[in-house]
Chains A and B, each alone.
Chain A
Amino acid sequence: MSLHAYKDSKLPLVLLYDSEYMIRSVFALLANQTAKASVMETANLATANNLCQTNAFELIIIGMGQEHEEKHFIELIRNGMTLTDKSVPIVVMTSAITEELLYELKSLNVTDILLKPTRVKAIHDVFLRNIN
């Protein structure tokens, strides 16, 4: 499990779940250095779920795996089964988008979809759009 948190109660709290170490590390450090957000990041879906049970995030960024098992995690959030507000903006990063997946993500009220490989700058842009 990898989890780094730069927690500052005055800043918006963001959860970043993704398998890519560099994406997670660079975005978390960038948000911390520019004092724009506190980012909790993990590559483990169970950890992401646990974090949502104990923290009220203002933005959640999810890197979708091949099996799309993250959809259940999004359902939990949207059904109010976590401490995070069920209307929280959710950004999904995925390496491929089918019509079926697009429909499912839309029905889960996903705010933005980014294609992988994703640049940190693109994540930063959607972060600014959704937080400000």
Chain B
Amino acid sequence: MIAAPIPHDEDKRLQALRALLILDTPPEERFNRITAFAAFEFDVPIVLLSLIDDDRQWCKSTFGTDFCSSSRDISFCGHAILQDQIMVIEDAAQDVRFHDNPLVIGEPHIRFYAGAQLVLPTGEAVGSFCLIDRKPRTLDENDLSILSTLRQMVVTELVANRDKSIGQ
């Protein structure tokens, strides 16, 4: 397993994440409806809206799992926030970064992962909106466009939360 690397702008990234005032807050319908929609749209059993804190991955919204957080070094999303494009792992069992990852060899037995990084308008990648399956999968160009659209809706909601807090 290769642990998720640390971005070069980590301090700024963490500052932007914490300014959202969303870590460790309860589930919210405005996010849950996007994760539920993605699960139906892509026919995947698990969808996560995952935020990458300094040493953990924490999920603001999940579909299909009670999974709420894990250590950052084993997280797929920790890798996804470093990629400009959507990170697609068609079969984690065949990928040198993930084949012996605890999330692959144990619960939730990830085989397929597609993570779209959540980039704020100010440029910081705070997390990932991701699709997970327990069997290998592929995505076509239209799938990637739809996932990117859902990612944009999530970012809009994240920023709306921050702007509302600033306005109060």
B142 CB within 8 Å of chain A: yes
Pair count A-B, CB < 8 A: 34
The docked-state distance in angstroms from the alpha carbon of A125 to that of B143 is: 11
Instruction: Report A89-132 CB contacts with B as 1/0, cut-off 8 Å.
Output: 00000000000000000000000000001011100110000000
Q: Which of B67-75, B85-93, B105-113, B145-153 is found at the contact surface with chain A?
A: B145-153
- Please name all residues of chain A whose beta carbon is closer than 8 Å to the beta carbon of B41 when the two chains form the complex: 26, 119-121
Secondary structure class of chain A's binding surface, majority of residues: helix
User: Is there contact, CB below 8 Å, between A120 and B153?
Assistant: no
User: Is there contact, CB below 8 Å, between B40 and A26?
Assistant: no
User: Is there contact, CB below 8 Å, between A29 and B149?
Assistant: yes
B116 CB within 8 Å of chain A: no
User: Is there contact, CB below 8 Å, between B149 and A33?
Assistant: yes
The docked-state distance in angstroms from the alpha carbon of A33 to that of B144 is: 12
14 contacts between A and B (CB under 8 A): A21-B33, A22-B37, A25-B153, A26-B146, A26-B150, A29-B149, A29-B152, A33-B149, A33-B152, A34-B145, A117-B40, A119-B41, A120-B146, A121-B41
7 shortest interchain CB distances as A-B pairs: A30-B149, A22-B37, A29-B149, A119-B41, A34-B145, A120-B146, A26-B149
